[in-house]
Structure 1
Amino acid sequence: MADTTLDVRDIPPSKRHPKIHAAFEDLDSGEALTIINDHNPKPLFYEMQAEVDAFDEEAYEVDQREPNEFAATFPKK
């Protein structure tokens, strides 16, 4: 499985989700997008779960690396 990483910590919050969605759309089936964020992206998980049919919610993973660093992997079916 190929993995693309996108660090969104320096992107203004209002522009993060559109950038993440665009990066996810560019993936092929079986690939994953890992985002590096300054908080747990649980709201984004729910958004992807509700709106993106290609999102593999069963394989979603999130790891807190530091107090303000979370790595969340969004796999594509």
Structure 2
Amino acid sequence: MPVTTLDVREVPPPERHPTIHEAFEELASGETLRIVNDHEPKPLFYEFQAEVEDFDAENYAVERRESDEFVADLPKV
């Protein structure tokens, strides 16, 4: 499954979710958007779960690598 990585740590906070949504929309079915963030993206998970039909919530995964580095996989069905 192809993975596209997007590091949003340098993106201004108000622009992060729109940037992530745009990148996710560009994916083909079966691909995954991997985001690198400075905090746990739990609000983003809930937003995707509620609003994005192609989001595969069952296969969502997040890993805390450092105190300010979280890596989350957002798979697309």
Shorter chain as denominator, the TM-score bin is: over 0.9
Measured after TM superposition, the shift of residue 14 of structure 1 is 0.1
Q: Between the two proteins, what is the percent identity of the paired residues?
A: 64
CA distance in 2 between partners of 1:40 and 1:25 (Å)? 21
**Structure 1: where are the runs of 5+ without partners?**
none
- Is 1:37–2:57 an aligned residue pair? no
Q: Can you list the C-alpha shifts for 1:10-49, whole angstroms capped at 9, x where unaligned?
A: 0000000000000000000000000000000000000000
The residue correspondences of 1:33-72 to structure 2 (distance < 5 A) are 33-72=33-72
TM-score with structure 2 setting the length: 0.99
Measured after TM superposition, the shift of residue 71 of structure 1 is 0.1
Count of residue pairs the alignment pairs up: 77
CA distance in 2 between partners of 1:10 and 1:23 (Å)? 16
Quote the RMSD (CA, aligned, Å).
0.2
CA distance in 2 between partners of 1:66 and 1:51 (Å)? 29
